Amino acid sequence: MNQRWIALLACFWFCATLAAAAQNLDSVLNAMDREAANFHTVQCDFNADMYEKVVDEHDFQQGTMYFRKQGDSIEMAADITQPDKKYVLFSNGMVSYFQPSIDQVTQYNAGKNKSEVESYLVLGFGGGGHAMESSYEVQYGGSEQVQGVNAAKLLLTPKSQRVRNMFQSITLWIDPARGIPVQQRFDEPSGDYRITKYSDIRLNQKVPGEAFKLKTNSKTKYVRPNG
């Protein structure tokens, strides 16, 4: 076989590979779109590994997360149970971080950046698949076994420089049958990263309303670094 035929076959193989990847990507994004169209709530358990490169340390957390659709927005609540009790709530463009050990809530107002903050805090849960393409360059990275699921791996690169300053890349492992993440990874420019695995995922079941309320009291201190 001469070099011209080898080059031609290589070209056909490359084009076929690109076409298959595009088809697989579109299939996954369509599954996420279908899930988003019927999305009301999600409740799941999570395990998170947060790595800080400068000190070469891992911080492990576990607990329960909740998501629900409120109008055109998605709210998120995280009840962190290990290694100590903490709560995170995202609602109405506000991120609230409650530390019962010091009885303090730190709040960050997303303001005009609400859509960007929402795009990664609730990424993959109720927001649809093709909608991600407005904020991220999305590539199909093949399939991997994660949490007992043959998950589709999506590689996301933020289009916004502001978001890239926080996360240079994001990876989602999507259950293609249900159109939701079973794992996420956020990589920062510093080399820090966060990997979160989701299990016991319950879609569109009744979620307790108190899950989206911070269990504060009259003495709880509120701090707002950005006003």
Q: Can you spell out the DSSP letters for the chain?
A: --HHHHHHHHHHHHHHHHHHHHHHHHHHHHHHHHHHHT--EEEEEEEEEEEEGGGTEEEEEEEEEEEEEETTEEEEEEEEEESS-EEEEEETTEEEEEETTTTEEEEEE-GGGHHHHHHHHSTTSSS-SGGGGGTEEEEEEEEEEETTEEEEEEEEEESSHHHHTT-SEEEEEEETTTTEEEEEEEE-TTS-EEEEEEEEEEES----GGGGS----TT-EEE-TT-
Q: What pLDDT score was predicted for residue 169? A: 94
Instruction: For 149-171, write each residue's pLDDT tens digit.
Output: 899 999 999 998 888 888 999 99
pLDDT tens digit sequence for 15-53: 333 333 445 888 899 999 999 889 899 999 999 999 999
What's the Rg (C-alpha) of the chain?
A: 20
Q: What is the pLDDT of residue 47?
A: 94
What domains are there in the chain, each with its CATH number? 3-223 (2.50.20.10)
CA–CA distance, 63 with 151 (Å, rounded to integer): 22
pTM of the prediction? 0.83
* Distance between CA atoms of residues 7 and 176, nearest Å: 35
Question: Is the preceding omega at residue 176 within 30 degrees of 0, hence cis?
Answer: no
d(C-alpha 138, C-alpha 146), whole Å: 20
Q: In a 10 Å sphere around its CB, with 0-12 CB exposed, 13-18 middle and 19+ buried, how is residue 37 labelled?
A: exposed
Q: What is the pLDDT of residues 57-110, one digit of tens each?
A: 999 999 999 999 888 788 899 999 999 999 999 888 888 999 999 999 999 887
Burial class (CB in 10 A: 0-12, 13-18, 19+), 184: buried
Tokens 């989602």 locate to 172
